[in-house]
Structure 1
Amino acid sequence: MKLAVYCSGSIAKGAADRGKLTWTTAERMEVTKGAAPHEVVFLTPDDPITDPGNTLGQFGRDMYQVMVASAVIVDARERRGLGIGVEMAAAGGFGTPVIVVAPPESKYRAAVLEYRGAVVRDYVHPHVAALATAVVDDFAAAGAALAGLVATGPLPAKAAVPDWLAAAIGEYRDNVLAGDAPMLRALRELAAVPG
């Protein structure tokens, strides 16, 4: 079975981002190995967009990818920003499962954490815990969790586009998608677009 994964995580936007952990071929290969025998098609937010000045369309592209994905895999190996939280919340609205790669003793997980005047054991950041379908240690485990999602049957049908995302997804679908070669290629691979 072909499964689409939206690669959520930091994007290297310039020289200041060179030291950040981002999705690379290595992470994609680990997910692919873990998901075997399923084939994985990756939807990547860092593909070039035809009109970078169209910020609504650019946001719409990310949300469209989250919507059509079989699952969102979040790279939470280190501190992440606003965009990842929005992607996780949108995934919840669509009914897209969220798998979070948060290694033990990282920003979002700890065996023991002093938190709000208490000691918490097996801490997972509250936003991650609330929005994640699974929290795993590494990308191979994320692939295995992805395979596990479909092991018992098909994924549930997607929910309708929430009102707060309708304008952005509409902008992308109506004015950007036709010129988005990487996304059109991925959709053809997933047999979601005829021709």
Structure 2
Amino acid sequence: MVLGLLGMCLLAMPFGLIALTQIRHRGQRGRGMAMTGLAASGCYILLASFGAAIAMLIDTDESTDEKPSNRAQSVQDVTVGDCVEDVRETDLMFSIPVVPCDQPHAAEVITQFDLTGPWPGRDESARRADAGCTDELTAALIGSPMMEVLVSFVFFPAAESHWQRSKRVSCLVMRADGDDLTQRIPR
């Protein structure tokens, strides 16, 4: 009974069954205590199973969609394959709405890389990011049928405080005419 009440099911179940067998064969007392221990162990097993089922359902619900629709995400946290609803020329952009790529969107993150070394200043950081994205995007999209209608857009560390957190550069493409994209960029 004690092991059953403490939740030690792996020990309580076999010991409870052994106790019931011995009580029956030897005519000893304690049948009620053995049954209580087995019942308590059964309750713990049911509760653990129920908790595990709930945890799996919650985890499944969170991972069913690639990206939730219209979720604002830090510019530093976008990843290759993310589609963003809106991009605009501004000195500082902290978050961006990420949408599924089959919905209308302004741009898609095609590639990323990290800048190296100490903080070079805003202008040099922008120059390195633009040059790196030009090379990376050309390599990634060389065979794309859309290559001629796309222009690049770059997220880069524009301030020393951003550089301290992450030196990541995200290279995006968007339509040169400003129209929305409605699917992933073909490669």
TM-score scaled by structure 1? Answer: 0.24
Q: Which has the higher contact order (CA 8 A, sep 6+)?
A: 1
Q: TM-score, normalised to structure 2's length?
A: 0.24
